[in-house]
Amino acid sequence: MRGRKSWTPYAATVVVAGAVVLVAWLNRGRLNPVVPGRPAPEFSAVDLQGTPRTLADYRGKVLLVNIWATWCPPCQQEMPSMQRLREAVPDEDFAILAVSVDAPLGERDVFGREGGNLEVFARTMGLTFRILHDPSGKIQETYQTTGVPESFVVDRDGLIKKKVAGPTEWDAPANVELIRRLLDG
């Protein structure tokens, strides 16, 4: 038997690889990455007046969906550029949906961070675009985010055209041009 190789490691590798392929195939419907070219997933949140809002409420519009929190310094830095983008593109068929994942005011999230006052935050920052609140943070799971801020540009047909993890300058010429191009069809 000396010099003969065992087939056991090879057989084990084939079995493991087969199991991985089988699990992936069985879960194929659940493996829908939220990336450009894919439909933006539906979500629900409430506006500052407590009115429930969903992605479907904005069907036919070009959207910037921004997932953020008041306790996030990069989010705070990014917000003025979002306001400047709103001012640069005042078209009624363009909407910014800034969805906060803050804990409810007066409460703490699972990490111990206090919920921010979204109305005071928006007023202090001079924000005129739509602020929504999802204290459950479900939107982060739905959009498969890795943190905040994370943003998605969505066209009129509901397809994601751009995804940005982390802060960006939304009023940069390339971003303004993208929004205008999507508005023009």
Over residues 118-142, mean pLDDT: 97
| SS3 track for the chain | CCCCCCCHHHHHHHHHHHHHHHHHHHCCCCCCCCCCCCECCCCEEEECCCCEEEHHHHCCCEEEEEEECCCCHHHHHHHHHHHHHHHHCCCCCEEEEEEECCCCECCECCCCCEECCHHHHHHHHCCCCEEEECCCCHHHHHCCCCCCCEEEEECCCCEEEEEEECCCCCCCHHHHHHHHHHHHC
**What pLDDT, on the 0 to 100 scale, is given for residue 183?**
98
Q: What is the mean pLDDT of residues 143-169?
A: 97
Average pLDDT over residues 96-120: 95
What pLDDT digit, counting tens, does each position of 44-103 carry? Answer: 999 999 999 999 999 999 999 999 999 999 999 999 999 999 999 999 999 999 999 999
Whole-structure pTM value = 0.84
Under the banding of pLDDT at 50, 70 and 90, the label for residue 14 is confident
Q: What confidence tier does 7 reach under pLDDT thresholds 50, 70, 90?
A: confident
May I ask the CATH class of domain 32-184? alpha beta
The sign of the CA dihedral 22, 26, 29, 34 is negative
User: Considering only CA atoms, which of 32, 47, 61 is closest in space to residue 154?
Assistant: 61
Judge whether residue 38 has pLDDT over 80. yes
Structure tokens at 111: 């990490």
Report residue 8's pLDDT band, with 50, 70 and 90 as the boundaries.
confident
Span 6-24, mean pLDDT?
75
